[in-house]
Amino acid sequence: MQVLQARSAVRETLTYNFTHRFSHPDFLLYHQRTSDLFNLAAQGKSAEERWMEFNTWKVEDQMAALLLPNLFEEMGGMYNEGLLHKRIAKEFFGHTARDFWDVGWWLISRYRKSDPTYYRQWQSMLEDMELLSADELD
């Protein structure tokens, strides 16, 4: 019984560590960079135009814009392996992760042309949370 309680406490701690990272004031800039990249309507560009433009950015700017999606992928991997507290993760991250998935699908799908496993952990997490179904990806 103590082992189960200890494991549960570790899952909660790891989950709350993600909430801290995600909501830290220094991270808000990265939220904005990802939002700016993903939001095609605000840019007035097609997905193809935005993709071509993104590929001309300096590597540092690309990495900054992809920090948030990469955090969702990291969190998804930990969630899918049972290392995070599922209810807390869904309550805190679920709908935000789904919203970013929706607006960023144009970018995710382009990465998947070269590697179909891109952001697969993020996708699996959303499916497990019942926030995304495989038939929505077409």
pLDDT tens, position by position, 50-109: 999 999 999 999 999 999 999 999 999 999 999 999 999 999 999 999 999 999 999 999
pTM summary value = 0.90
- The residue ranges of every structural domain in the chain are 2-137
Torsion 136-115-75-78 (CA) sign: positive
Residue 119 contacts residue 70 (beta carbons within 8 Å): no
